[in-house]
Chains A and B, each alone.
Chain A
Amino acid sequence: MSQKNTTAEQWDSVIESRHSLFDINLKEIWHYRDLLVLFVRRDFVTVYKQTILGPLWFFIQPLLTTITFTIIFGNVAQLSTDGAPKIIFYMAGITLWNYFSTCLTTVSGVFNANASIFGKVYFPRLIMPLTIVISNLMKFAVQFLLFVSFVGYFTFQNEIQPNSWILLTPFIIILMALISMGIGLILSSMTTKYKDLNQLIGFGVQLFMYATPVIYPSSSVPQNYQWVVELNPLVGLFDYMRYAYLGVGEFTISDLVYPSIFSIVILAVGVLVFNKTQKTFMDTV
């Protein structure tokens, strides 16, 4: 009787070994949206609990890095800043880069960091990387405010000229989020099995910073290395920041075409790979 029913009856869900590669349950993620909000809140609230300076730490880190970079790269190495004041030039790069690198490294370690909770209970795993990207976005927003107030100061001093391109900022941030999440997702799936990658990612990201115009303007890259600039999807985003807020360097809207396409492709690949990994990662982590 029940044998016959199996095909006829309506089952709510089927747990099985083979899934199509594109089987991503967006409805389920939507159902868990409250969890996403609570996780983001948790991340934001608990980081600086029982610290004396509390949320001030959000500012201290980029400030100190900016000062260090200004001294080392600006005063000692005397790298070009395209004529912009050194402090604001480095701050623009650091604020954006910090968001990218934190997202990338945290997302890539998402399986290992959450193995204990993933091993106990099921919820759509994609919630976790989304949480990371969004809670870092909050942190970024705070640091971006700091940056904007510096921009205000230097504009008032008439040292830089921001222009209306700044209205495009949200789009740039989204691109940044998508690219870091996409790369992070791909790496996260690989690190569950091959822990060697954890070692690689740490300094890999550091090296990648030097291949990206964070501490130098892309115009100062020598001709025979220009291909690096052309391949790196982040270049357009950093050029945008300096052009829109500091009024230095070169930027046209077409510079955003490659990063846009790249971000969508890398995110799609990342989500697919992540989705495939999440089903069995507990056995290999």
Chain B
Amino acid sequence: MSKVVIKAEHISKQYRLGLVGTGTVKDDMKRWWYNLRGKEDPFLKIGEANDRSSKGESDYVWSLRDINFEINQGDSVGIIGRNGAGKSTLLKILSQVTQPTTGKIYTKGRIASLLEVGTGFHPEMTGRENIYLNGAILGMRKHEITRKLDEIIAFSGVERYIDTPVKRYSSGMYVRLAFAVAAHLESEILIVDEVLAVGDAEFQKKCLGKMNAVSKGEGRTVLFVSHNMAAVKSLCNSGIVLKNGGILYQGSADIAVANYLAGESDSLNHKKFGNDFDFETLKINEISINPKGLTSDEILDEYHELEFQTDINIKTQPERLHLTYVLKDSNGEALFTFSTSGVTPLRKGNNHLVCSFPKGFLNIGNYYLDLYIIEDAKRAVFHEPDIMAFTIQEGPRPLGGWMGKEPGFIKPVFEWVNL
């Protein structure tokens, strides 16, 4: 039976929005007055769920509301959610940077947090001096650091600069050194926030490998916050999805990621237009994109065959028309066009057009589609830019491999022969 090492009970965190200034003294007085009479804080009753995009009624919001979970020893848990979902707040509470407004967290073992690598590095001091300082900030004793010094320096890969002030370091070297210190902490629980955002491919691989060794090999518990779903999937065995300060899902990492992505895209891969595009000559009903054999609610990942489906009603002269899509990248640069011209004729009445992209054709990233209906191969009778936006997600990748994006927008699977 696995041992529970972190147990959170009814964790909530309230923040006051807007300027802390006038009004705070008044609220403080009121709080103090209630407290004096042994009553509950009056401001705990108000406040609303934290939704970044909609304007709220009150100045108080709940960044986290009634969070409960248990984490077993040796688990590596991915914490995922949109910006503002409460991930950082949760980590801050776990690493004791701030305390919860209500609730309790029981922990077993030392917690080390890596909220931002290189905290406390002093630019004027050498790499070696900073290893000691940073290690001590993270809770290591001096003799522990001395014992691990060689290992840390070797892991960081900046031996040559170790007696140079860190202000002369490149940002990559800086991060390498900082991560090396944190990775060698002797803590039972390690909290990691977005380390993959920095460093080159080789170092990312090293970090993920180290984190995997920490959780699987040494039986330590890792809490990992990332927006890189590929990394979460390969590294973590369980996941917690946060949404607006509450837990949306808790369970296996794969399902957590799927849950998060499904909530994220809000089924953007399927659009019904109603009467938006109803003209004399034609009417566009629906556009959807789905992985082959699956519905458009599924996430689009880099490994699936994709089907672009267009439902269009042609009212007059279908033989003079054809349909063209322009695929654009997130900067709005056109990548290529694909068209029915010369491939499949349009009919009068309903047309259900399906265009298939081969497996793995599009690289991960955000894409936009422009739709054109062309008459007589020269004149656009209909043009709607950005009619559809979609995202290709990372699929599961082998651990220890590169988790980022390969260069380029397409990565077609060509035929190879080894003669």
A residues contacting B by CB (< 8 A) are 2, 5-6, 9-17, 19, 31-32, 34-35, 37-39, 42, 45-46, 49-50, 116-123, 193-194, 279-280, 282-284
Contact = CB atoms under 8 A, between A and B. Distances in A.
Contact of A279 (B7, B24, B98, B140): B98
Given A2-B70, A120-B116, 5 more contacts: A15-B107, A17-B103, A42-B122, A121-B113, A121-B138
B107 A42 contact: no
B316 interface: no
Contacts of B345: none
Contact of B97 (A35, A39, A45, A120): A120
Contacts of B99: 15-17, 19, 279-280
Contacts of B105: 14-16
A121 B119 contact: yes
A2 B96 CA distance: 24
B210 interface: no
Nearest to B95: A122
A11 B107 contact: yes
B137 interface: yes
A15 B139 contact: no
Given A35-B137, A38-B132, A120-B97, A282 B92 contact: yes
Contact of A46 (B101, B109, B115, B122): B122
Contacts of A32: 136, 139
A5 B124 CA distance: 50
Interface string B45-82: 00000000000000000000000001000000000000
B286 to A, nearest CB: 47
A141 to B, nearest CB: 22
Contacts of B132: 38
A160 to B, nearest CB: 41
A37 B97 CA distance: 22
A41 to B, nearest CB: 8
B100 A42 contact: no
Contacts of B136: 32, 34-35, 38
B148 interface: no
Given A32-B136, A42-B125, A14 B104 contact: yes
Contact of A12 (B4, B25, B109, B124): B109
A15 B24 contact: no
Contacts of A37: 142
Contacts of B43: none
Interface in B189-239: none
B93 A15 contact: yes
Contacts of A19: 99
A15 B97 CA distance: 11
A284 to B, nearest CB: 6
Q: Which residue, of B15, B102, B120, has the highest number of chain A Cβ atoms within 10 A?
A: B120
B119 A50 contact: no
A14 B141 CA distance: 23
B245 to A, nearest CB: 15
Contact of B141 (A2, A12, A34, A42): A34
Contact of B142 (A34, A42, A279): A34
Contact of A122 (B7, B103, B108, B113): B113
A8 B115 CA distance: 32
B106 interface: yes
A166 to B, nearest CB: 36
- How big is the B interface, by class? 35 or more
* Interface SS of chain A: mixed
Contacts of A15: 93-94, 96, 99-100, 104-105, 107
Contacts of A49: 124
Interface in B19-36: 20, 24-25
Contacts of B94: 15
B118 to A, nearest CB: 9
B133 interface: yes
Contacts of A9: 4
10 closest A-B pairs by CB: A35-B136, A122-B96, A11-B106, A15-B105, A34-B142, A120-B119, A16-B104, A46-B124, A282-B98, A279-B99
Contacts of B142: 34, 37-38
B26 to A, nearest CB: 13
Contacts of B106: 6, 11, 13-14
Nearest to A121: B119
5 contacts: A2-B4, A2-B7, A17-B100, A122-B96, A193-B20
A215 B133 CA distance: 40
Nearest to B189: A12
B107 A119 contact: no
* Residue among A42, A49, A116 facing the most chain B CB atoms (10 A cut-off): A42
Contacts of A16: 99-100, 103-105
A35 B144 CA distance: 13
A238 to B, nearest CB: 35
Given A38-B136, A117-B119, A121-B113, A283 B15 contact: yes
Given A6-B7, A17-B99, A284 B107 contact: no
Contacts of B100: 15-17
B162 to A, nearest CB: 17
Nearest to A19: B99
Nearest to B100: A17
Given A12-B107, A12-B108, A121 B137 contact: yes
B144 to A, nearest CB: 9
A130 to B, nearest CB: 14
Contacts of A118: 97
B126 to A, nearest CB: 10
A193 B122 contact: no
Contacts of A279: 98-99
A118 B95 CA distance: 11
Nearest to B98: A282
A14 B108 CA distance: 9
Nearest to B193: A120
B97 A50 contact: no
A14 B289 CA distance: 49
